[in-house]
Structures are given as structure tokens and as C-alpha cells.
Amino acid sequence: MTITLITGANKSLGFQAARELVALGHLVYVGARDPEKGRRAAEELGARTVRLDVTDPASIRSAAGQIKADEGRLDVLVNNAGIPGHLNSAGIPGHPSTAREVTAETLRTVFETNVFGAAQVLHEFLPLLGTSENPVVVNVSSGLGSIAGVPFEGESPVESWIPAPGYAASKAALNMLTAQFAYLLPELRINTVDPGYTATDFNGHRGTQTVEEGAAIIVRAATVGKDGPTGKYLSAQGPVAW
Ligand code: NAP
């Protein structure tokens, strides 16, 4: 049985991906920073749960220890937990922010979860992934992380593009980490994915896709075989320009 961990899987895209991977026969660990939310989600899904706050290195280490003790390996890691960024001057999270609002502190907040969190989870779980016959990592990025997507001339090739300097920079950094890990660890299938603009709490449910549509590329990347792609930036429509 494929052992899979999804961070931030107690709701929204992570929860939907967990639901579909359970249906495909994976033993899924719902990573949740709130154990009660994790327990409820896991119960509904027929999954397991582990407390994991990606900004808390001790909780990541302890989650890795628990899965090692229970399963002895990890086959698939989905780095899904993410935040939209700082509150803008209107107090709205994730709202397009102006260049003047960007400070080291606003960047640090969003990088803490979206980049350092994902990197630390990967670091702690690499030894367990190393015991799998087909280790797979999915980094859940965004089309906003595409530098080629910034609309310098005319329309952006990224649907629903908005200016969001901190968030976009964090996802671009996650994309580069993906490429670097793919180069350094050819035994790993590691890809970064853009779920597309999806109605979740993340954007006050303004997204135009359903969670089923958004989770499709996460599930596809989580189920690649040994000969599958690695070091790619993918959406449901195909490759995304870096
Ligand atoms: P969401 O509805 O806000 O859910 C985010 C999940 O991440 C929740 O389970 C949340 O837990 C968890 N989380 C946040 N910070 C965490 C932390 N420090 N440790 C552990 N878990 C944490 O967001 P979503 O729309 O499902 O987004 C999931 C991923 O897709 C994110 O990486 C996001 O950047 C990416 N994405 C989303 C869209 C979109 O349109 N929705 C588009 C492109 C990319 P709590 O319930 O405890 O808050």
C-alpha cells in the first residue's frame, strides 16, 4: 500500500486530494496543525492523521517519527500547506498588495510557511522517502509563482493573474527548490504544481474552479510512476512556463 502524507489536509485542496488518494488505495496521513481538525478530517476520509505545523520544526520531526514508527516508510509527500500572505492595508489577506507594502517582515511571514515550512518538511521526511521504492514529492505551488506569467506586455498566460509580490515570490522560490531537488536527487519524482484559481477559504471562495478541479493535478503528480516526470511545473492543462 502507498503511504502518503499531505500537509494542510484538514480542508480545501489538501482534503480533496486526500479523499481521492484514499479512493485510489493510498494510506493517507492528514497533516494538520490543529489535531482536532485533523482527527475529524481523517475520520471522514478513512485516513490517519498526524499533528504537523510546517512552521514548527519540532512538530515536523515528531510527525516524521510517528510515521516512521507506524509505517517504516513514506512513499508520497504532498507539500500542500500554504498561506496567501500578509494582510494588506485594507486588512484583507492575500489581496493584491502594492510594492510599497512589501517589507522584509511581510515576506518573512509568507516565506515561513510556503518556503521554509515546505523545505523543512522535505528535509525531515527525506530519510523516510529514501526507504520507498518509488518516492514521490508534490510541491503545491501556484501559477502566480511563474516569472514568465508576469504580464509585462498584454495578458498574462496565467489565468486569474493578480499582483501579489510576497506570495508570488514564495511560490517562485518553491518552484526553484523543486528544480534543484529534482537535479540533486534523480531517484525522487519531485514536481511543482499549479492547482488553478479554486474556491476555498484561501481566497474567500472567489476562485472559479471547484476543489475537484483544483486537486486534479495534485493527485496526478502524487501518482506518477518510476518513469514519470520529475523537475516539472505542471497544471491540469499541461506544463506551466517557469
Ligand atoms: P486553504 O483553504 O487556506 O487551506 C490551507 C490549508 O493549509 C489548511 O488546512 C490550513 O490549516 C493549512 N495550513 C496553513 N498554514 C499551516 C501551517 N503552518 N502548518 C500546517 N498547515 C497549515 O488553502 P487552499 O486553497 O486549499 O490551498 C492549498 C495550497 O494550494 C496552498 O499551498 C496554496 O498556496 C495553493 N494554491 C491555492 C489556490 C487557490 O486558488 N485556492 C491556487 C493556487 C495555489 P488550518 O485549517 O489550520 O488553517
pLDDT value of position 198? 96
Confidence of residue 71 (pLDDT cuts 50, 70, 90): very high
Task: Report which ligand 1 atom has the smallest distance to the Cα of 209.
Answer: 40
- Ligand 1 centroid, distance to 200 Cα (angstroms): 9
| pLDDT tens by residue, 92-110 | 666 667 888 888 988 999 9
Ligand 1 pocket member 170 (CB < 6 A): no
Q: Is 37 among the residues known to form the active site? A: no
> Is the separation of the CB atoms in 138 and 129 below 8 Å?
no
CA-112 nearest atom, ligand 1: 18
pLDDT tens profile 114-142: 999 999 999 999 999 999 999 999 999 99
Weakest-pLDDT range from 62-76, 86-100, 190-204: 86-100
pLDDT at position 217 = 98
0.95 surpassed by pTM: yes
CA 24 – ligand 1 centroid, Å: 23
Ligand 1 pocket member 197 (CB < 6 A): yes
Neighbouring C-beta atoms of residue 151, cutoff 10 Å: 11
pLDDT mean across residues, the chain: 95
Of 62-66, 163-167, 205-209, give the range with the top mean pLDDT: 62-66
Q: Ligand 1 in contact with 40 (CB < 6 A)?
A: no
**Would you state the pLDDT for residue 98?**
80
| Pick from 80, 91, 89, 66: nearest CA to 113 | 80
For the question of residue 171 being annotated catalytic, the response is yes
Show the domains of the chain with their CATH numbers: 3-239 (3.40.50.720)
pLDDT of residue 88 exceeding 80, the answer is no
* Average pLDDT of the segment spanning 4-28: 98
